[in-house]
Amino acid sequence: MSVRRAVYPGSFDPAHYGHIDIATRAARVFDEVFVAVYANPAKAKSVLFSVEERVAMLSAVLGHMPNVQIAPYYGLTVDFVRQVEAMAIIRGLRVFSDFELEFRMALANRRLAPEIEVVTFIADERHLHLSSSTVREIASLGGDVSTMVPPVVSAALVAKFKERHQNGVESDYMISLHD
């Protein structure tokens, strides 16, 4: 039987416990899961962490799972899915407000690649409120995010905001992100 491989794409800027839960559950359902970190050069300035930093944090957190791989990708998600010969795109669904966007993206992806299924996992209620933008905002104001992200991400946030504050960088990266 062929390998059932799925791609879980996202910005993961940064990864939090909601993302980790979805990746872990997907890895129980599929033989192999690629956690794919979207690297959009046009958005490079609007993200907090570089794609290399995001990949490194996810690798530190999910690297112990033998059937999970972390990779950056550029361009269309369906092109990456085809490139790695996966059969499905994984998405997490939090609250009702996610639904419209996810529904639209799933239909667009179906139009582009009818052979690829979009599989949606309902968020765990413990993580329903979690989003990367909330995490970034709390961390930028010096708040404690230790219940929302793993220690490696928490430490990276502290270091990143220390560096930004020292360099006098404004937190303008939040504005253009939708999560």
Residues within the interface to ligand ADP (CB under 6 A): 10-12, 18-19, 22, 91-92, 94, 98, 123, 127, 130-132, 179
Q: How far is the CB of 158 from ligand ADP (least distance, A)?
A: 20
Q: Which is nearer to ligand ADP, 103 or 162 (CB)?
A: 103
Q: Which is nearer to ligand ADP, 84 or 106 (CB)?
A: 106
Q: Is 132 a catalytic residue?
A: yes
Q: Which is nearer to ligand ADP, 22 or 62 (CB)?
A: 22
Which one is catalytic: 16, 19, 127, 160?
19
Q: What is the 3-state secondary structure (H, E, C) of the chain?
A: CCCCEEEEEECCCCCCHHHHHHHHHHHHHCCEEEEEEECCHHHCCCCCCCHHHHHHHHHHHHCCCCCEEEEEECCCHHHHHHHCCCCEEEEEECCHHHHHHHHHHHHHHHHHCCCCEEEEEECCHHHCCCCHHHHHHHHHCCCCCCCCCCHHHHHHHHHHHHHHHHCCCCCHHHCCCCC
Q: Are strands 5-10 and 32-38 parallel, antiparallel or unpaired?
A: parallel
Q: Is 126 a catalytic residue?
A: no
Which one is catalytic: 11, 16, 127, 132?
132
Q: Is 91 a catalytic residue?
A: no
Q: How far is the CB of 35 from ligand ADP (least distance, A)?
A: 9
Which one is catalytic: 54, 91, 94, 136?
94
Q: Which is nearer to ligand ADP, 83 or 176 (CB)?
A: 176
Q: Is 160 a catalytic residue?
A: no
Active-site amino acid positions? 19, 43, 94, 132
